Amino acid sequence: MDQSKAKPIKALTQHLKDLTLTGPEETQIQAIQLDSRKVLPGSLFVALRGTQTDGHQYIDKASSLGASAILCEALPDVLRPEITYLQVPNTAEALGHLSAAFYGHPSKHLKLVGVTGTNGKTSVATFLFQLFRALGYRCGLLSTVQNQIEDQVIPATHTTPDAVALNGLLAQMLQKGCSHVFMEVSSHAVAQHRITGLEFSGGIFTNITHDHLDFHKTFDNYIQAKKGFFDALPKTAFALVNIDDRRGAVMVQNTKAHTSTYSLQTLADFKGKIISDTLTGMHMEINDQEVWFRVIGRFNAYNLLSVYGTALLLGEKPETVLTELSNLLSPPGRFEQHISPTNVVGIIDYAHTPDALENVLETIAQLRHGNEKVITVVGCGGNRDQEKRPKMAAIACKYSNQVILTDDNPRFEDPMTILDQMRKGVPPLDYKKTLVIPDRREAIQKAYSEAQPDDIILIAGKGHENYQDIAGTKHHFDDKEELLKAFGQPQ
């Protein structure tokens, strides 16, 4: 990535708190690097304490590769005279500020809106990106599915990139004339200071339910991480929260931002009501105006309300916004429907948390109008929250006539162990309707072979993903491709 021209270290660090500088003061920085293996001469190497190892162990290696400065929490035993050492209490936090400064604080010159919550971030950020482009603005998007600068797609490796990549992307967006950027803010990103140093124009809270306890350890830590995003918003920003979520009010308890609310259940600044919801569209009332949407499902009614609220908070006119919103389509892998030649309905959805799975299955239950069977194919990812596994299997059983438990991304875990943990959530009365087919391709084929015309197959957990991560290798795998193959309609 182009990290532009060399920058004097003094200018970059002048606002860093509790900084101790040792060594040359006139150093110029060509690039910021978090990985010692990628250090090039003139780089600033940042020693981060990670989940697997401690970046401080690689200071020597980075120095040998020509780093001209080192940002660290503890100085190495031997200091090299040609290197500038920047010692701070928290390197991750300092990195946030430093990355923003290195790229000339692009966020200050953009209308940057962050979306946080367990579910709905990609949907809301993508809807906002589509809406504001339709309203005539040049826009950027940072999301799990992909990053985008207008029509240019830049593959995403994370939901929220690291601070260096993030500020680099924002700088590119600004340079290409974007005025608005919509981004997902994951809880990992808040906890690891990936967003520190950014100036947001607004923040949105969708909801918080069970996920990522492998990383945050307790639900309370998870809530605090999300709340940290709102705590740090400036008073010029807005904070828009889903007040139907039990934690909505807590999120904005200590924010300096101007708070607004949205709701389907109670009084709020942006109040919605679902009039009807079918496979072909959703009819809603939003702040007393009736609108038809192409996207469906109660969870999307929340997403649309937050998008509508954001647009108004950014100064757009209600009527124009509603007109454009009614044309929007869901992002790939979010309630994506395909119909087979025999009229079996296949739905691919990224539901990978208990709450998302329940929402999607409830939506399907509401959309059924006869005796259609619901067949759910679902798995859980390896090296992620284990507590959600039995819960997701139990939810699949509660709402489906048949369930096929299968692999998601096993990563470094034994797939059978994950499936055994899921199986623990199957109530004994549902054993008969539950199959375990580890091979996801076979599971999808089996689901289709069991389906009759009008039946609904839900394939949950991987959505847009086009790979299966097995022991560190990403093998090509795409639920949509497999579904269409099973339908006898290969792409």
Ligand X SMILES: Nc1ncnc2c1ncn2[C@@H]1O[C@H](COP(=O)(O)OP(=O)(O)OP(=O)(O)O)[C@@H](O)[C@H]1O
Ligand Y SMILES: CC(=O)N[C@H]1[C@@H](OP(=O)(O)OP(=O)(O)OC[C@H]2O[C@@H](n3ccc(=O)[nH]c3=O)[C@H](O)[C@@H]2O)O[C@H](CO)[C@@H](O)[C@@H]1O[C@H](C)C(=O)N[C@@H](C)C(=O)N[C@H](CCC(=O)O)C(=O)O
In the complex, what is the shortest distance from the CB of residue 159 to Mg ion, in angstroms, rounded to a whole number? 5
The contact set with ligand X (CB under 6 A) reads: 117, 119-123, 144, 159, 184, 206-207, 299, 302-303, 334, 349-351, 355-356, 359-360, 463
- Contact letters (x/-) for Mg ion, 167-186, by CB under 5 A? -----------------x--
In the complex, what is the shortest distance from the CB of residue 145 to ligand X, in angstroms, rounded to a whole number? 8
Count of residues making up the chain? 491
The C-alpha atoms of residue 482 and residue 16 are separated, in whole angstroms, by 51
What residues are paired with 348 via a beta bridge? 336, 459
What does residue 447 show for φ and ψ, rounded to 5 degrees? -60, -45
Interaction with ligand Y in 27-46: which residues (CB under 6 A)? 34-37
Which tokens in the block code for residue 483?
């579904």
Query: Which helix (H) or strand (E) covers residue 242, if one does?
Result: strand 238-242
Interaction with ligand Y in 114-173: which residues (CB under 6 A)? 144, 158-160, 162
Which tokens in the block code for residue 357?
């799975």
Q: Does 160 bind Mg ion (CB under 5 A)?
A: no
Report the residue number, 190 or 314, with the smaller CB distance to ligand Y: 190
383 phi-psi bin (left φ>0, alpha ψ -120 to 50, beta other): left
- Contact letters (x/-) for ligand Y, 174-193, by CB under 6 A? ------------x-xx----
Nearest to 95 by CA among 172, 163, 7: 163
The contact set with ligand API (CB under 6 A) reads: 144, 159, 352, 381, 384, 408-409, 461-462, 465
Please check if 136 is assigned to a binding site: no
The C-alpha atoms of residue 354 and residue 199 are separated, in whole angstroms, by 33
Contact 460, 357 (CB under 8 A): yes
The C-alpha atoms of residue 270 and residue 321 are separated, in whole angstroms, by 13
Q: Does 390 bind ligand Y (CB under 6 A)?
A: no
Report the residue number, 197 or 333, with the smaller CB distance to ligand X: 333
Q: Does 13 bind Mg ion (CB under 5 A)?
A: no
Please check if 123 is assigned to a binding site: yes
- Packing angle between helix 298-313 and helix 354-367, nearest 10 degrees? 110
Report the residue number, 111 or 352, with the smaller CB distance to ligand Y: 352
Binding at 52: pick from Mg ion, ligand X, ligand Y, none (beta carbon under 5-8 Å per type): ligand Y
Q: What is the DSSP secondary structure assignment for residue 226, as one 8-state letter?
A: H
In the complex, what is the shortest distance from the CB of residue 244 to ligand API, in angstroms, rounded to a whole number? 24
Report the residue number, 91 or 310, with the smaller CB distance to ligand Y: 91
